[in-house]
Chain A
Amino acid sequence: MRHHLSRCVTLLVFANALLHAQDQAARAPKKPDPVAAMFGGPDKIDPAAAERGQKIFAPTCGFCHGADAAGKSAPDLIRSQLALHDEGGNLIGPVIHNGRAERGMPAFPNLTNDQIADIAAFLKLRKQATSNRFGYVIQGLLTGNAKAGESYFNGNGKCSTCHSATGDLAGIANRLEPVDLQRRFLSPGPSMMEMFMGKQSKPLPSPKVTVHLPSGETVSGTLVRTDEFYVELKDAAGWHRSVSREGARVEIDDPMSFHREQLAKYTDTDMHNLLAYLETLK
């Protein structure tokens, strides 16, 4: 029972998050959304109708189809062909009204067409919450041992070489959700999703570069761009310079390189413990 309740609550959280996102999307000024452009925009669902539909569905249909419509003694309706092709109740309506006696489904002749349209909206929302992984909620990350995490921070993890729990990381847990905090200590900087969405985030400190040219001259500054042919940098005076790598020796001092190397060393337990510790920095 408790389990069942928590499922319903999570379901509502999902549903609300989705509805909220749609609401936001509808209000936001028209801007091309790269995710929508590629994966298709969300189905148009009236949030109020879906909410009403859920309230009808759970007590009426949930006993057999599950309160989340994922199926119990009766089929999963999230991926039911009929529900997927339904528009406003046009396909599921007759089935609900007449039942399917041969499969043991009772008729619900008293549900109005409006109520059925609301159920249809709820089913669409459930399908969308299932198929749209970008809306999935990551939670339940705090399984580690904070004490062990602190030892890792000051010991094997060598985090304290550059960071301080009372300095740059003071209050870090207030600024980031656990999932973001976990990702950022593993790999600082914007995530793939953030970059893909064109989201602005605080840039990482730029690597310093020194190029020893074959002429004997040395050029150094802040790295702007490099490939295997050229190094582009901003020198101390603020001028842009580009130099060929041919015959040159290039030294790049990237403060983030430690984080990249550490990726191959973490155990999952280290990762969970470290997060648990960082979460205490409030």
Chain B
Amino acid sequence: MKLGFVWFAALSLSTLIGQELNPQALKQLPTDTWPTYNGDYSGRRNSSLNQIDPSNVQSLGLQWIFRAANSGLNGFAGSIKSTPLLVKGVLYFTMPDNVWAVDARTGSEIWHYKYPDNPGVHIGSRGVGMYGDWLYFESPDCNLISINAKDGKERWRKTIADVKAEYFCTVAPLIVGNRVIVGVGGDSLDNPGFLEARDPETGDVQWRWETEPLPGQPGSETWPNQEAMRHGGGMTWMPGTYDPDLNLLYWTTGNPNPVHAGDARKGDNLWTCSIVALNPDTGKLVWAFQPSPHDTHDWDAVQTPVLFDGELNGQKRKLMAQASRNGYFFVLDRTNGKSLVTAPFMNNNWSKGVDAQGRPIPDPSKEPKRDGALVSPSSNGATNWFPPTYDPARGLFFVNASQNYSVFYYTAEGKPEGYAGRDDFLTFSSIIQAIDYRTGKVQWRHDISSAGGMSIGGLLSTTSGLLFGGDTTGNLLALDENDGHTLWHARVAQNTTNGPITYMLDGRQYVLFGAGDSLFAFALPRAAANATASR
């Protein structure tokens, strides 16, 4: 029975041909496919599809649910944090150790790939990358695995990093040209971070960029010594973005190590907690900007560096914006990394202001202490990995933000290593915020945690004026982008755990949410969808 099903599925897909990523086409979101983690290379997660709009969104109806109950995981580990790819009517998404292919029309499972048990940390998986007929997946124990998109069969696996040294991998690889860009994670044993380009056919290394500079290189002056630099952390946790015209790959790095022990690594600790622009052909650093100099609070600066063009101070510019985990919103000139706007989007008590380069100035009295330092935000941050979205039609940047507190303790006895401290989260909250990129000012706030708790859900915007997300009580939401009021909701009793996506299939616009262990696909009733086609 099972075999028969697989055979049928394979047959129905046999007409598919290889899919090429056209860099120019991916400067903005395609409408009939979602071929990268962010849908396109810009990271905007903004769709021009307008079949669903503020006037008819109330009619959205559930089309199907796919429950990924066969993951072998449960709880937080067993929820869908990946953004699915949609390619030729098939959705590809992941959890740690697991990849699924699901029919986007029906919600039927086409195949399920299960990676063997392994000791890597199973905190999350952001998804897969796709090149031709091949999927690329990073396992918790840091293998890069090439999987046949047709049948879920593994082609090869290549080691990216050493799980015994406490590396673990969560990134959705990003395809740029004939390169599979892979990042790494792992904070607990003072490993150096790095980013690699791998050959899509063989998995071999094409180039490698190290987060920490070598002695004598620019940035090395921000570390006390070579030993500290070699164990300085700076993980490449999240997929980056890419500008095909500038041919610059933008990637982000995590906190320095030892995590809570600033005295062990006096200085800014470059290029940790940084946004870096790399040449995608060579992996060479072109410019860098550091949202969190000398971080001691685990505030990875790995939130999506979102690319858009816009006017600022009367000049049309190529911009990049990040709402960073430390609570600051940054706008940079993406040609050179120069700061244009720095503004807090949440109240914080750790910074003494902003320096001439547009970077917050950390207050040493708020570094972790043996008797505790009460700090806002917590190590979980004013936001985290969850995808933000930017709508060019309104010049608004939307982020799932959090006002929260934590007590940071320094705990190391003797030489600080690993985390060297802990923090004790005190409160949570989740608030969807709209930020005007020109000023960094928050235009509106919509509390999605009226009953407490914290949302890890990402956001999606459409130029028709809809913002999709979810709250902390199991509601999926569509908000009006202009003022944040709720236009539609559906209680699915699981909180959103990924960034929603949208695409056109058979003349209907779908919105797909990941919440807990399930995918929920919504669309307008067919008659309503047909009606919009003729208007």
Q: Which residues of A contact B (CB under 8 A)?
A: 6-7, 10-11, 14, 32, 34, 37-40, 66, 68, 70-71, 76, 78-79, 81, 84-85, 127, 130-133, 136-144, 179, 182-183, 186-187, 191-193, 196, 225-229, 260, 263-264, 266, 268, 271-272
B422 touches A133 (CB 8 A): yes
B425 touches A271 (CB 8 A): no
Using Cβ atoms and an 8 Å threshold, which residues of chain A touch B164?
84-85
B417 touches A70 (CB 8 A): yes
B414 touches A260 (CB 8 A): no
Interface size on B, residues (CB 8 A): 56
A137 to B120, CA, bound (A): 24
A138 to B76, CA, bound (A): 26
Known pairs A6-B413, A10-B413, A130-B189 / 10 extra A-B pairs, C-beta < 8 Å: A37-B73, A39-B122, A79-B165, A133-B188, A133-B418, A138-B422, A182-B372, A193-B425, A227-B473, A228-B489
Most A CB atoms within 10 A — which of B347, B365, B407?
B407
Tell me, yes or no, whether B513 is within 8 Å of chain A by CB. no
B475 touches A227 (CB 8 A): yes
What are 18 A-B contacts with C-beta separation under 8 Å? A32-B74, A32-B75, A37-B122, A40-B121, A68-B414, A79-B189, A81-B162, A81-B165, A136-B422, A137-B411, A191-B424, A192-B424, A192-B425, A225-B451, A227-B471, A228-B486, A266-B374, A272-B371
Tell me, yes or no, whether B426 is within 8 Å of chain A by CB. yes
How many A-B contacts are there with CB distance less than 8 Å? 154
User: Which residue of A is nearest B373, CB measured?
Assistant: A268
- Identify which of residues 72-123 in chain B touch chain A, using a CB-to-CB cut-off of 8 Å: 73-77, 119-123
- Contact string against A for B residues 363-389, beta-carbon threshold 8 Å, 1 for contact and 0 otherwise: 001000111111010000000000000
A138 touches B411 (CB 8 A): yes
B373 touches A140 (CB 8 A): no
A108 smallest CB distance to B (angstroms): 24
Using Cβ atoms and an 8 Å threshold, which residues of chain A touch B428?
192
A192 to B474, CA, bound (A): 19
B417 touches A78 (CB 8 A): yes
- Identify which of residues 398-440 in chain B touch chain A, using a CB-to-CB cut-off of 8 Å: 405, 407, 409, 411, 413-415, 417-419, 421-422, 424-428
A84 to B191, CA, bound (A): 13
A68 to B122, CA, bound (A): 29
Tell me, yes or no, whether B443 is within 8 Å of chain A by CB. no
B188 touches A37 (CB 8 A): no
Tell me, yes or no, whether B231 is within 8 Å of chain A by CB. yes
B58 smallest CB distance to A (angstroms): 13
B413 touches A11 (CB 8 A): yes
User: Which residue of A is nearest B475, CB measured?
Assistant: A227
Q: Knowing A227-B475, A263-B405, say if A186 contacts B419 (CB, 8 Å).
A: no
Using Cβ atoms and an 8 Å threshold, which residues of chain B touch A179?
409, 424
Using Cβ atoms and an 8 Å threshold, which residues of chain B touch A70?
414-415, 417
User: Which residue of B is nearest A254, CB measured?
Assistant: B452
Taking a contact as CB atoms closer than 8 A, the residue among A10, A85, A127, A187 that contacts B189 in the complex is: A127
Most A CB atoms within 10 A — which of B162, B164, B486?
B164
A37 to B426, CA, bound (A): 24
Using Cβ atoms and an 8 Å threshold, which residues of chain A touch B231?
79
A131 touches B189 (CB 8 A): yes
Tell me, yes or no, whether B151 is within 8 Å of chain A by CB. no
B320 smallest CB distance to A (angstroms): 31
B446 smallest CB distance to A (angstroms): 9
A159 smallest CB distance to B (angstroms): 16
- Contact string against A for B residues 119-135, beta-carbon threshold 8 Å, 1 for contact and 0 otherwise: 11111000000000000
A84 to B408, CA, bound (A): 29
Using Cβ atoms and an 8 Å threshold, which residues of chain A touch B450?
226-228
Tell me, yes or no, whether B295 is within 8 Å of chain A by CB. no
